[in-house]
Amino acid sequence: MSDAGGGASARPSLAARVARAWRRRVWFHELLCLARREVALPVPAGGEELGARLVMRRATAADAPLWQESWAAKVPWYLERLRDPQQFCWLGLVDGRLAVHCWYALGPYRDPQLRHTFDPGPDGAYFGEGWVHADFRVGGLATAFNRRIYGEVLPAFGVKQVLCYYAIDNVPSVKLQARFGFKEVGWLHHWRVLGRHFFASAPMPEGRENVAATNLR
Ligand SMILES: CC(C)(COP(=O)(O)OP(=O)(O)OC[C@H]1O[C@@H](n2cnc3c(N)ncnc32)[C@H](O)[C@@H]1OP(=O)(O)O)[C@@H](O)C(=O)NCCC(=O)NCCS
């Protein structure tokens, strides 16, 4: 999961906007965690209430209007990605609103913005941009969505393993992926310096692969 933005309704304060511009244009550092999951693993329970109202389907170009509310600036890029046969996006609607989406790439994925390649390995998919609309968070929606993704969608594509990354301090994401049995397989430094992205591997503390199970629950 790679994007923490979108879905917020209130306009951010001036201080928040300045801090964001600094992070985007001047200097930013974070530690990212790469995590891997075998698709055949069992899926956890959770989110049954929202899950019962969830309608899921593969995104097509006709879904462009749905992205307008939260992701207007990204629509052209999304449409370009949908033309790539190696990529697909799954949408989840609750009461007709776009509540969740996730993007997948079959095989190694070169992120054009980050200029970094994420390699999920044989029969693997890279999973990025996992996002739940702010109005629907903390109710188990991501859990309900991912249950169907790992139980039905990815097996139908022949995917056996999935690679994703998240910032190590993104607690909801760490918990979500750990709950689904993702194992942390490496850490990366990610710097953004004057708008350019740089990566380097970082040492992962011993025992970190079980961090969510031991520390966060
Ligand atoms: C990460 C995200 C997809 C989770 O969606 P969600 O529908 O709120 O997730 P769920 O309700 O299914 O909860 C999943 C787990 O995260 C925990 N969680 C969710 N929000 C949390 C929060 N704000 N603080 C602490 N834990 C949280 C839940 O308790 C649950 O943990 P559990 O399985 O141990 O009970 C959502 O927060 C999001 O879209 N965030 C912004 C985008 C983002 O950061 N994407 C990931 C980028 S790497």
Over the stretch 114-172, which tens digit does the pLDDT of each residue have? 899 999 999 999 999 999 999 999 999 999 999 999 999 999 999 999 999 999 999 99
Q: Tell whether ligand 1 has an atom less than 6 A from the beta carbon of residue 120.
A: no
Over the stretch 47-95, which tens digit does the pLDDT of each residue have? 999 999 999 999 999 999 999 999 999 999 999 999 999 999 999 999 9
Mean pLDDT (the chain) is 91
Over the stretch 17-44, which tens digit does the pLDDT of each residue have? 999 999 989 999 999 999 999 999 999 9
Q: What is the pLDDT of residue 208?
A: 74
DSSP 51: H
Q: What is the pLDDT of residue 214?
A: 44
Q: Which of 147, 163, 173 to mutate to test the pocket of ligand 1 (most atoms within 8 A of CB)?
A: 173
Q: Which domains does the chain have, with CATH numbers?
A: 26-216 (3.40.630.30)
Q: Ligand 1 centroid vs 137 CA: distance in angstroms? A: 7
Report the Cα 128 to chain-centroid distance in Å.
4
Cβ-based burial of 154 (10 A; exposed 0-12, middle 13-18, buried ≥19): buried
As a whole number of angstroms, the distance between CA 186 and CA 174 comes to 14
Q: Which of 43, 91, 138 to mutate to test the pocket of ligand 1 (most atoms within 8 A of CB)?
A: 138
